[in-house]
Structure 1
Amino acid sequence: MKLHLDRQATLNALLAQEDTDGSRTITIEDTGPKHFVVKDRHGQMLDVKGTYQLANLLQELWLSEDGTLDSDLITQKPLARIDHLIRHHYWKTLTRRIDEAGLLATLADEKRTSKKQYLYVPEDDPDSLAFYQRITAPHPDIDVLTVPRTLTPAYLESIEDRPGLLALKIDPDTHQPVPYVVPGGRFNEMYGWDSYFIGLGLIAHDQYELARGMLENMAYQIRHYGRMLNANRSYYLSRSQPPFYTPYLRAFLDAYGDRVPLAWIREHLGIAIDEYENVWMNPQTHLTSTGLSRYYGEGRGRPKETEPGHFDFELKKYADRHGLDVREFERRYDSGEIVEPELDNWFVHDRSMRESGLDTTTRFDGVCASLACVDLNSILYRVETDLAALTDLYMAGEFTWRGASYPSGHWRAQAEKRRQLMKTFLWNEADGTWYDWNIDTQRQQPFVSASNLMPLWAGAATPEEARRAVASQLPQLLKSGGIASTGPIDKHNQPGPERQWDAPYGWAPHQIMIWEGLRRYGYDAQAQQAAFAWLRMLVRAAVEYNGLITEKFNVEKQSHKVDAEYGNVGARFEYVPAGGFGWTNTSFLLGLGYLSDAQKAELDALAG
């Protein structure tokens, strides 16, 4: 039934009656009568009952431009409703363009502010430089600066007081910037590993242009900035994030390989090789003496994108030694007036932890750069096997790039070499799992983590290893709301701030990869159990809290109410969730594929 309403009058009446806490949302915490009668201009009436339907009404009123409502969207069952919002609203809300219309929005950055705004463009992309000089000409408070091809420590230090956005690809046909999708909330930049999981959701919804644009922008970063960046801000130029560019390329080609020319595939294969060799197999930074790789965030001192006070717990130890308050010590340390090699080294590990994407976790605290990690080497095994498969499929088994030959056999040999090294250094026979290897102490670091199951996602486990890892790790990680990031953390032995990538918190990327890994090795029942636990928590939150979808959850309490470190992006909004959260949106879409019809019906029944 189509309803034609006085939009503003209905919205005001609904909020006045049902939004008792003044949040401009309708949740289970509101104490209104939970019953609202909609009357349209033609005398039609609709009874709207319960938190869920009232919230749907509020969302549709807010989204409607002329007051026309479809009653089916108000009574829509939760699974269809969430899918509808992601497909028709959330991806659009999360899309950004560094063009004339979107310039000011994309430059906005809650993490760093300065008197002027800065836009950085690669010096070896003169067409982009000319474009951005033109569109910023009417804005005297915006400076366009160039990024040199070779990034030296001196250059990175020279721009620390001029934080800005890094330009991405301009389409050579349309001469307009290629759009990208941000994670959500306060973020206006494109993040490294988020983009892979967001891309999987875009592919699931057949958003071809956006999915391709994300991949184009990832490739642009590797080509012009040397790596797929933590995010396209100037203070991220010194570090990457987990290398999902190649897995994304394969996922994209699996879906759309017949829609792109062979020359395009060839170029992206070459860029994948550049990233693999120049970043992750670089012995000066990421390749360790074991033959396995590590995370290694370059740069010096305190990561400058963090909020004021973020490091106070650690800095206070050193401030006390110098008889200074924390702010004064921080100022003198940042300026180089105070030299603390021990603290310098601690920040090497902290920046490396941020490159891992797991910022922050007790697992990596003060040690990350010393670890050949299970997760990173699992991803690189997947990169190598994906490159082999793509070379076979599109290049007839032979590929030449920059004068060097890369047959598919080369990549299979690299993958097998890595698998054997993972067996030698990371596999723990007694515990039946993989652990990170500390290259300084020459021993494993036993730590129960969701990352311990990533060799299954990568296909790097033997059937027996998979069996033992599932038996040893899954019971410690799977909670009533899904997979926790780690096993329980003993706060008596781990003082300091609560870490958002520790238990009891769970995140979408771990869910997605562990589901896929379990299914790959035939553990379909366990994959279904884990997916159902996560989706039940997500759907309940959406039903009870006005459609809410956040970046992370407390999987023990099955709650979105998380205050660890940075709070919970996506938890605060008015009327309609502001895009949900990218990879959590994807986890909902992909998780449905693991559920039975009965489980889906149970989730729909959460609406009452």
Structure 2
Amino acid sequence: MWCRRVSLFLLHLAAVLCERVSAQGGGEDLANIAACDSEIYCSGRLLEAVQNAHVFNDSKTFVDMKMKSDGDEILRAFDTLVAGGADVTSADVMQEFLQQWFDPPGSELEVWEPSDWRESPDFLNTVADSSLREWGQQIHQLWNSLGRKIKPDVRDRPHLYSMLYVPHPVIVPGGRFREFYYWFGFIPNGGRVYYTRRSQPPVFTLAMRDYLDKTSMKEYTFLTWQQCADPALFHAAVATACADPALFHAAVATACADPVLFHAAVATACADPALFHAAVATACESERLGLLRSDSVSCCCSSPGADPALFHAAVATACESGWDFSSRWFGSSGDFSSIRTTDIIPVDLNVFMCACEAALANISLRLGDSGTAARYQAAVERRRTAIDAVLWSDQEGVWLDYNSVTGQHTNRFYASNIFPLYTTCYGDGTARADIEGRVVDYLKKENVLIYPGGVPTSTVHSGEQWDFPNGWPPIQHLVIEALAASPVREARQLAQDLAQRWVNVNYRQFARTQAMWEKYDVETGEHPGSGGEYDVQVGFGWTNGVVLHLLDKYGHVLRAPPVSTAAVPVLHLVSLILGLSAFVLTVQL
């Protein structure tokens, strides 16, 4: 008990010190750091005018448009417009200006069909249910609709675009997400200039491991350690011990362990350009209530309160976490204005770090580099020790996010709470039936196994999209994988049951709309999820991938659910009703 208390105290102290260092951007004033250096796409008078005029419902639309002229010329034209007395708060005025100076979003892309795409993947032959097999084939066809190639003009004239150029074709998620997400080298959130100061959860190493395993090691010798060491870790997580995050091995020394835990931290103080409406509206309302000062938020009157730069940094950090937005990051008031993402040491981020280090240890060993393998394995063991010491709640029987400011666990259900079961990032790395049985009991106690559409992201009704009742494909995938690998039979059966439920909601919605969606409502088990700063998106890359994976893993036992008349497209149903009404009326006459 004494060792645990010392560990928690030193971790708390280190986290607070490191948060201040990282939030200041290494000494630079946080309030001066925009999402990128572009005065068109990331900050400045034109961006604020377009977004504040609500020319588009989605803040991302404008910052994805291509400039027809150099940025300086466009800004001069805008200044002339203002000097001439034009009402730049008018959506019509700004719409006319944009039509003159910008091309529509997506104009920098060409449709591309993957060259290695095959008409019928072998794994679909193992799917027993003919309806699911046919559906899997339809989903497989969607990859062709999501293939894109960036036009050479982006390479030749990058100053006219927010898109980041890469020479090879990519698969995009779909809908408003027109760009690629994740790449080699330094890994930003996605392929736009306004994403370059934040990353995403560090799973690149795991993707690389899976790819190399599928190719039977034949490409291992062509990789350099600079590529293998997942540069995303450099940006996605900040060591609470304030050591160089690129090394991700520094420890907070204690009398009994070497715990190292991470939290995300993005150094930017400006509203996210692609989420401008939500972020600025909340900041403005918070200023009105006296919760934020107005000295670095260009929208409202002055009032005393917390630093708005930290607010916008917390918003950007929530985006980097992958959970944008969720009650996970909210403070005591429980709403968006209290967002404190950098205070939280998240379970999932630390599990991903542990899994990445384990993957690198395995790759090193298979390459014959025992010294490097031992170094990574030592990091894995330190991470497991820290996860056990700080994030495990013996009272709840599960791992919980830890608030480094309050020194308390976040005692609410989030699907990420069970992620240490994924690759057994706890204890000595050997799955323990007693621990995993308690985790199953926790899931039952929280009543999150009762929904027809799978496991909810949380049980909090916040109105944010990473909360109840939404179910997200990557979350379902990780929950299922975590339970499927358990030595507890009940956990493995739950994994199969959840796979069937997730297939059901996707199958029924596809029957209704002929589309795959980025998220779904687990409570109804029917329609796409809602909430958040934009409408639910059609596409959708990770939805397709997760369903195809489940068909591959469980296709021998999964069955297509019955599709009721409610699955008939709405317009067809209305036409049918009107036709029947006319027929009845005719008969009566």
The normalised TM-score by structure 2 is 0.63
Shift, 1:568, TM fit: 4.2
| Match in the other structure for 1:180 | 170
Unmatched tracts of structure 1, length 5 or more: 1-75, 104-118, 120-131, 134-142, 146-161, 169-176, 193-217, 223-227, 399-405, 492-497, 572-579
Matched, 1:391 2:369: no
One of 169, 192, 197 as aligned partner of 1:233: 192
For residue 436 of structure 2, give the secondary structure of its aligned residue in structure 1.
helix
| Match in the other structure for 2:15 | none
For residue 501 of structure 1, give the secondary structure of its aligned residue in structure 2.
coil
Matched, 1:98 2:150: yes
Matched, 1:84 2:151: no
Amino acid of the residue matched to residue 588 of structure 1? V
Matched, 1:482 2:449: no
For residue 520 of structure 2, give the secondary structure of its aligned residue in structure 1.
strand
Amino acid of the residue matched to residue 188 of structure 1? R
Q: Matched residues in 1 for 2:556 and 2:208: separation? A: 32
Matched, 1:581 2:540: yes
Q: Is the 8 A contact 1:528 1:594 kept in 2?
A: no
One of 529, 541, 551 as aligned partner of 2:509: 541
For residue 164 of structure 1, give the secondary structure of its aligned residue in structure 2.
coil
| CA spacing shift, 1:351–1:340, aligned 2, 3 Å | farther
One of 356, 359, 362 as aligned partner of 2:327: 362
Shift, 1:261, TM fit: 5.7
Shift, 1:431, TM fit: 0.4
Listed as ranges, the matches of 1:556-571 within 5 Å are: 556-571=523-538
Amino acid of the residue matched to residue 363 of structure 2? L
Amino acid of the residue matched to residue 529 of structure 2? V
What CA deviation, in whole Å up to 9, does each residue of 1:380-417 have, x standing for no partner?
A: 01001111111112x1134xxxxxxx521111111111
Listed as ranges, the matches of 1:292-371 within 5 Å are: 292-319=261-288, 321=290, 330-332=297-299, 341-365=306-330, 366-371=339-344
| CA spacing shift, 1:568–1:84, aligned 2, 3 Å | farther
| Match in the other structure for 2:233 | 276
| Match in the other structure for 1:448 | 413
Shift, 1:79, TM fit: 1.8
Shift, 1:241, TM fit: 0.5
Amino acid of the residue matched to residue 448 of structure 2? L
| Match in the other structure for 1:174 | none
| CA spacing shift, 1:180–1:343, aligned 2, 3 Å | same
| CA spacing shift, 1:275–1:505, aligned 2, 3 Å | closer
| CA spacing shift, 1:410–1:323, aligned 2, 3 Å | closer
Listed as ranges, the matches of 1:100-115 within 5 Å are: 100=152
| Match in the other structure for 1:416 | 381
| CA spacing shift, 1:317–1:441, aligned 2, 3 Å | same
Shift, 1:452, TM fit: 0.5
Amino acid of the residue matched to residue 380 of structure 1? M
Q: Matched residues in 2 for 1:77 and 1:240: separation? A: 41
Amino acid of the residue matched to residue 83 of structure 1? G
Matched, 1:499 2:499: no
Shift, 1:251, TM fit: 0.6
Q: Is the 8 A contact 2:529 2:536 kept in 1?
A: no
Q: Is the 8 A contact 1:433 1:473 kept in 2?
A: no
What CA deviation, in whole Å up to 9, does each residue of 1:285-335 have, x standing for no partner?
A: 8679662000112211322221435542442130355999x9x9953579x
For residue 183 of structure 1, give the secondary structure of its aligned residue in structure 2.
coil
Amino acid of the residue matched to residue 369 of structure 2? G
One of 443, 446, 451 as aligned partner of 1:473: 443
Shift, 1:81, TM fit: 3.0
Amino acid of the residue matched to residue 82 of structure 1? W
Shift, 1:180, TM fit: 1.3
Amino acid of the residue matched to residue 495 of structure 2? A
| Match in the other structure for 1:115 | none
| CA spacing shift, 1:265–1:518, aligned 2, 3 Å | farther
Shift, 1:584, TM fit: 0.5
| CA spacing shift, 1:554–1:535, aligned 2, 3 Å | same
Q: Is the 8 A contact 1:433 1:472 kept in 2?
A: yes
| Match in the other structure for 1:189 | 179
Shift, 1:451, TM fit: 0.3
| Match in the other structure for 2:9 | none
For residue 97 of structure 1, give the secondary structure of its aligned residue in structure 2.
strand
Matched, 1:144 2:158: yes
Shift, 1:77, TM fit: 5.2
Q: Matched residues in 2 for 1:505 and 1:166: separation? A: 31
**Aligned residue pairs: how many?**
409
Q: Matched residues in 2 for 1:444 and 1:476: separation? A: 20
| Match in the other structure for 2:479 | 514
For residue 166 of structure 1, give the secondary structure of its aligned residue in structure 2.
coil
Q: Is the 8 A contact 1:77 1:604 kept in 2?
A: no
Compare the two structures and name the one with the higher strand fraction. 1
| Match in the other structure for 2:221 | 262
Shift, 1:600, TM fit: 1.9
Q: Is the 8 A contact 2:291 2:305 kept in 1?
A: no
Q: Is the 8 A contact 2:290 2:303 kept in 1?
A: no
Q: Matched residues in 2 for 1:362 and 1:183: separation? A: 25
Shift, 1:437, TM fit: 1.2
Q: Matched residues in 1 for 2:526 and 2:548: separation? A: 20
| Match in the other structure for 1:46 | none
| CA spacing shift, 1:98–1:483, aligned 2, 3 Å | same
For residue 383 of structure 1, give the secondary structure of its aligned residue in structure 2.
helix
Q: Is the 8 A contact 1:242 1:355 kept in 2?
A: yes
What CA deviation, in whole Å up to 9, does each residue of 1:248-284 have, x standing for no partner?
A: 0001011114452612365532x42x44357535537
Q: Matched residues in 2 for 1:527 and 1:184: separation? A: 28
Q: Matched residues in 1 for 2:214 and 2:311: separation? A: 43
Q: Matched residues in 2 for 1:438 and 1:456: separation? A: 21
What CA deviation, in whole Å up to 9, does each residue of 1:493-548 have, x standing for no partner?
A: xxxxx100001110000111111111111332010011111111110111122x22
Q: Matched residues in 1 for 2:355 and 2:291: separation? A: 48
Amino acid of the residue matched to residue 81 of structure 1? E
For residue 530 of structure 2, give the secondary structure of its aligned residue in structure 1.
coil
| Match in the other structure for 1:525 | 493
Q: Matched residues in 2 for 1:421 and 1:261: separation? A: 31
Matched, 1:244 2:215: no
Q: Matched residues in 2 for 1:412 and 1:442: separation? A: 29
| CA spacing shift, 1:488–1:275, aligned 2, 3 Å | closer
Shift, 1:552, TM fit: 0.4
Amino acid of the residue matched to residue 175 of structure 2? G
- Mean Cα deviation higher: 454-463 or 418-427: 454-463
Q: Matched residues in 1 for 2:442 and 2:424: separation? A: 18
| Match in the other structure for 1:148 | none
| CA spacing shift, 1:165–1:387, aligned 2, 3 Å | same
For residue 526 of structure 2, give the secondary structure of its aligned residue in structure 1.
coil
For residue 381 of structure 1, give the secondary structure of its aligned residue in structure 2.
helix
Q: Is the 8 A contact 2:292 2:307 kept in 1?
A: no
| CA spacing shift, 1:163–1:294, aligned 2, 3 Å | farther
| CA spacing shift, 1:504–1:279, aligned 2, 3 Å | closer
Shift, 1:360, TM fit: 0.3
Amino acid of the residue matched to residue 308 of structure 2? L
| CA spacing shift, 1:279–1:508, aligned 2, 3 Å | closer
Unmatched tracts of structure 2, length 5 or more: 1-128, 253-258, 331-338, 569-589
Determine what percentage of the aligned residue pairs are the same residue.
23
